[in-house]
Amino acid sequence: MASSAMDAEVSTPEEYIATLPEPRRGEVRVLHDLIRREAPELEPHMVSGMVGYGTYHYRYDSGREGDWFVVGLAGRRAYISLYVSASDGDRYLAETYRDRLPKADIGRSCVRIKRLADVDLETVAHLVRAGAAAHRPA
């Protein structure tokens, strides 16, 4: 087994999770299962060394375009990163959860969680559902 998921060459989300040391592996497994339950339409896959769920196509005014995940999950040494690639029109969706996830470090689209016990899982589930809903066709 690799020393960390970042060092390992993995091709599936299950392999990725298996490379993580405990207790991080168990915490990422809980979040993986939560994402699969709350947004089952978002198929898990590996992208940029993390688990991505679902895909969407983006195009910037500059002409740059590509495909990215709707929700992403990564087990890092110091924290778990949960990415939600959605906005409410004015702000990234994750930013709107700062007051509901006070022990998490929240950036634009990333929620960094030191320990799973620090966050309310129902609030995380709500964020995942909202992120997935933002990418559903109208």
Backbone angles phi, psi at 99, to 5 degrees: -70, -25
For residue 8, what pLDDT is reported? 52
Of the options 3.40.50.300, 3.30.390.50, 3.40.640.10, 3.90.1150.200, the CATH number for the domain spanning 13-134: 3.90.1150.200
Residue 70, sorted as left (phi over 0), alpha (psi -120 to 50) or beta, turns out to be alpha
Percent of the chain with pLDDT over 70: 93
Mean pLDDT of the chain: 92
**What does the pLDDT look like over 23-71, one tens digit per residue?**
999 999 999 999 999 999 999 999 999 999 999 998 889 999 999 999 9
Closest Cα to residue 27, out of 80, 67, 76?
Answer: 80
- Model pLDDT, residue 55: 95
- The one-letter amino acid code at 16 reads Y
Give the pLDDT mean for 67-83: 96
Q: Which residues pair with 80 in a beta bridge?
A: 75, 113
Spans of all domains in the chain: 13-134
Cα Rg, the chain, nearest whole Å: 15
